[in-house]
Amino acid sequence: MTATGLRSLFSRHDLLSFAVLALLLIVVFPLALDVFRLGLIGKYLTYAFVALGLVLCWGYGGVLSLGQGVFFGIGGYMMAMFLKLESSDPESTAIQSTPGIPDFMDWNQITELPWFWEPFYSFGFTLLAVIVVPTVFAYLIGVAMFKRRVSGVYFAIITQSIALILTILIIGQQGFTGGVNGITDLRTLLGWNIRSDFAKYVFYFICVALLLACVVIAQFIRKSKFGRILVALRDAEDRIRFSGYDVANFKVFVFCVGAAFSAIGGAMFTLQVGFMSPSFIGIVPSIEMVIFCAVGGRLSLFGAVYGAVLVSWARSIFSESFPELWLFAMGALFIGVVLAFPNGLAGLYDQYARSHVTKVLDRWVDQLSRSDSTRTVQGVAHERQ
């Protein structure tokens, strides 16, 4: 995208926020952190994809989904299936009763690779499936719910139930999914060792590039006519319906976009962490993902990224000392955000700091324009001489 295109999508302040975020992720973190800490940041950024989708669904569309872990997990499992097949070649699995299939299938006395695993020998198909499968699933859920005008707390509870059902299904089908342990022992991607330090750096930068691209896509949606209708739908759904718009279609579309973003995050999580399990699909992780969005600010795309990183970092630090208290701390954090600063960190920034930053930015732009004008006048005078 050209600089002119970016300026049409982002205001001056938003463009500054985008530049600061890109600088932090591309320059500051890689230079300041060792490979282990940078890998942790990369892991936290995979949750930011989910938070971005929730900003569009919940913040702008008024569609609160408590089951985004479903799409995060589906994307992660799609990528894990490809990686597992690559590491389960006949030579590597020669000691199994049935060489050439994943180890957990052999443990469960399955003697032939299931038909739905076969396409995941193809990396191209896997990349396509990471986006298409969760999006189609979200479309089916959205049509079934929104066409029947199911919304609000009822929709949130249903998505939560879907997350629970999918978790139980994955655990119950241990021979096909790896059960409660998930799909583990992932070693290579197209013959390349994904556990090396170099691979961790590469996956981190790929994750950052995809995240910034998703921010631009989300900003495009927000600034478009669709985004304006989405906000109006959130504030006055009946008025939008009486104006002739199909409210259900708008909700289905934004729900599918959120699912696609979440799935990309899940696939990158699998690549960076090296496994995928049902523990990232259920009710608790899905609620955590909502908290990422709420803490960062459910009306701010940039706040969602910062919220995902900060809350995930806090969870890592807090759970090291008080692992059994993290769930209580998470609940208290959510309640505190709702009561004290409902617009999250982005709301606090807008209330206390944005005006000062804008003044400094305007002063800096004015100085630049004056210096440019002075150089132009001096150049014209020099040419006349």
Q: Output the pTM of the full model.
A: 0.90
The pLDDT assigned to 377 comes to 47
Name which residue leads in pLDDT, 133 or 371: 133
pLDDT digits (tens, 9 = 90+) for 322-336: 777 777 777 787 777
pLDDT number for residue 376: 56
> Which pLDDT tens digit goes with each residue over 34-57?
999 999 999 999 999 999 999 999
Rg of the chain's alpha carbons, rounded to an integer?
23
Are 326 and 318 spatial neighbours (Cβ–Cβ below 8 Å)?
Answer: yes
Q: Reduced to 3 DSSP states, what percent helix, strand and coil does the chain have, rounded to the nearest 5?
A: 80, 0, 20
User: Residue range 254-259: average pLDDT?
Assistant: 96
Q: Please report which confidence band the pLDDT of residue 380 belongs to, taking 50, 70 and 90 as the band edges.
A: very low
Structure tokens belonging to residue 122: 């193809």
> How many angstroms from the chain centroid is the CA of residue 341?
23
DSSP H or E segment with residue 188: strand 188-189
Report which of residues 252 and 297 the model is more confident about. Answer: 252
Please name the helix (run of DSSP H) or strand (run of DSSP E) that holds residue 192, with its range, or none. Answer: strand 192-193
Q: What is the pLDDT of residue 43?
A: 94
Look at residue 382 in the predicted model and tell me its pLDDT: 57
Angle CA 223–224–225, to nearest 5: 125
Chain mean position to CA 87: 27
Phi, psi angles (nearest 5°) of residue 189 = -125, 110
Contact 259, 52 (CB under 8 A): no
What is the SS3 assignment for 276? strand
For the chain, percent of residues with pLDDT exceeding 90: 46
Q: How confident is the model at residue 340 (pLDDT cuts 50, 70, 90)?
A: confident
Nearest residue to 166 (alpha-carbon basis) of 77, 102, 106:
77
How high is the mean pLDDT of the chain? Answer: 86
- pLDDT category of residue 321 using cuts at 50, 70 and 90: confident
Tens digit of each residue's pLDDT (9 = 90 or more) over 154-212: 999 999 999 999 999 999 999 899 989 999 989 889 888 888 889 999 999 999 999 99
Range name among 92-106, 148-162, 320-334 with the lowest pLDDT average: 320-334
Token code pair at residue 88: 């389960």
- 56 contacts 146 by C-beta, under 8 angstroms: no
Above 70 in pLDDT, residue 374? no
Tell me the pLDDT tens digit for each residue of 296-310.
Answer: 888 889 999 999 999
The helix-helix angle for 123-146 and 68-86 (nearest 10°) equals 160
Count of residues in the chain = 385
**For residue 266, how many other CB atoms are within 10 A of its CB?**
32
Q: Which residues pair with 193 in a beta bridge?
A: 188
Reply yes or no on whether the pLDDT at 351 is more than 50: yes
- Exposure string over 294-305, b if 16+ CB within 10 A, otherwise e: bbbbbbbbbbbb
The answer to whether residue 369 scores a pLDDT higher than 70 is: no
